Structure 1
Amino acid sequence: MNRDTWTLERDHVDLRRPGVEPRVVTLDAAPQRLTLDLARTAVVVVDLQNDFCHPDGWLASIGVDVSGATAPVEPLRATLPPLRAAGAQVVWLNWGNRPDRANLPPGVRHVYDPDGSSTGIGDELANGSRVLTEGSWSAALVDGLVPEPQDVAVAKFRMSGFFDTELDSVLRRMRVDTLLFAGVNTDQCVLATLSDAACLGYDVVLVEDLCATTSPRFCTDATLYNVRQVFGFTTTSAQLRAALTA
């Protein structure tokens, strides 16, 4: 349902938006338990795509161990259907650059390629796909994740999914104010997007086991600490599902 619409007639326009029935749940979280309205909530799934997670993708090709990057896939497959059924929106936020890279400054173009001698954004992989290019295999979701027709996809071009994208506009048109975060990497693109969301006034909840990273464990520990300390809350998919069935 389009939540940001008018009712139009030949001689009358009703500016009231459609009412949405609240879907209230209370769940265990840290540092406190949470009560939220799933009808005003979106799950933002960040960068669970081949270049970050697949053994033939970009990070693996430059020597990064991606063996744990797909850990969120199965818990996501179990958690998204009941969240959708309860009224939550799902947004797939994948890094997918312009083929000409015209909007990328050098500091972004050379992420993971600091001296220009390795494979960088937009370069070709051994399988012929171009790194993080929109519409390519590299930018596609990993196997096992299939969007539903009512889901929304947004392309991103920076660590944060809010910078230079339509993500904020899409979420506001959905009438959403609470965001559940999933994806990779926990300490990089997930955290950057979450912190920007908090600065924009969204309520933010990081779902721990729906996120993963190729960074050392201490990076995750620091991220969880900072989310709980200054940005919002953390929970788990099991706690979410328990709240949905309570």
Structure 2
Amino acid sequence: MTTAEPGLQDAYTAPNFATSALIVIDVQRDFLSEASYGVPGTTEILPALRRSVSTFRTAGRPVVHVVRLYEEGGGNADLVRRRLLEWGVRIAAPGTPGSEPADGLLPEGASALDPELLLSGRPQRLGPYDHAVFKPRWGAIYRTCLEELLGKLGVDTLVFAGCNLPNCPRASIVQASERDFRVALVRDAVSPVTDSAWTELAGIGVGILDTAALEALLAEPEAQAD
């Protein structure tokens, strides 16, 4: 992947990596490929996702882990999920191991997720560069504190990764685009994908790149935090 793609070159949409944040969507243990209600392909992207997270930390840039926390009975879930949760299925239940981010994504020494804090609509600080935000619906901005957090961090560019691309990353990307954030997607750190997804996302100005290109771009001096 080169930086010649239109979404990475256009003056209005090209990412500003010096003012960027990595947004990791729903990469929690209960959504890994091998889990009962997991998303196919998610475990397989973990090596690339860990590289992406490490690249942002090395550059001194923020990493935001956007998570789901389904309360017992599903009262805070999307309508399409409520029947399943009403039946007693527990997925990403607050305080359970399955709700935690996948191994290797959080910084060393990070605390467990704080369900009370996150469900109250506040961000949780997980390290010098890492934060967690709870989202109650597909998109990461609707009814969340993410946009306020990004404003405080001086971010105008969002680089997305995670699962499940047809649902939550896609909804989050559209919400970000509607708010005039510059948007990019790490193609080998998102699951699952289809060929049509790249064309559709490029059509709304999303820059598509892989982890190797991301590492090179964030290593450039102008992309480093002061």
Q: Structure 2 length as normaliser, TM-score?
A: 0.76
Can you list the C-alpha shifts for 1:184-223, whole angstroms capped at 9, x where unaligned? 112211111111111112111011001111xxx5xx2222
SS at match of 2:180: coil
RCO higher in structure (CA 8 A, sep ≥6): 2
Partner residue of 2:75 out of 102, 111, 121: 102
1:149 corresponds to: 127
Which structure has more strand as a fraction of its residues?
1
1:3 corresponds to: none
SS at match of 1:191: helix
Alignment of 1:174-185 (within 5 A): 174-185=153-164
Can you list the C-alpha shifts for 1:153-186, whole angstroms capped at 9, x where unaligned? 0111211121221111111121111000000112
Alignment of 1:13-162 (within 5 A): 28=3, 30-34=5-9, 36-59=15-38, 66=40, 68-99=41-72, 101-104=74-77, 106-110=79-83, 120-121=84-85, 124=88, 130-147=90-107, 149-150=127-128, 151-162=130-141
Q: Does 1:234 align with 2:198?
A: no
2:196 corresponds to: 222
SS at match of 2:105: coil
Distance 2:53 2:191 in 1: 17
Unaligned runs of 5+ in 1: 1-26, 111-119
Q: Could you tell me whether the CA contact under 8 Å between 2:7 and 2:202 is conserved in 1?
A: no
Which structure has more helix as a fraction of its residues?
2
Unaligned runs of 5+ in 2: 108-125, 221-226
Q: How many residues align?
A: 196
Q: Structure 1 length as normaliser, TM-score?
A: 0.70
Aligned-pair identity (%):
29
SS at match of 1:44: strand
C-alpha root-mean-square deviation of aligned residues, in Å?
A: 2.4
2:119 corresponds to: none
Can you list the C-alpha shifts for 1:18-52, whole angstroms capped at 9, x where unaligned? xxxxxxxxx71522544643331100000111222
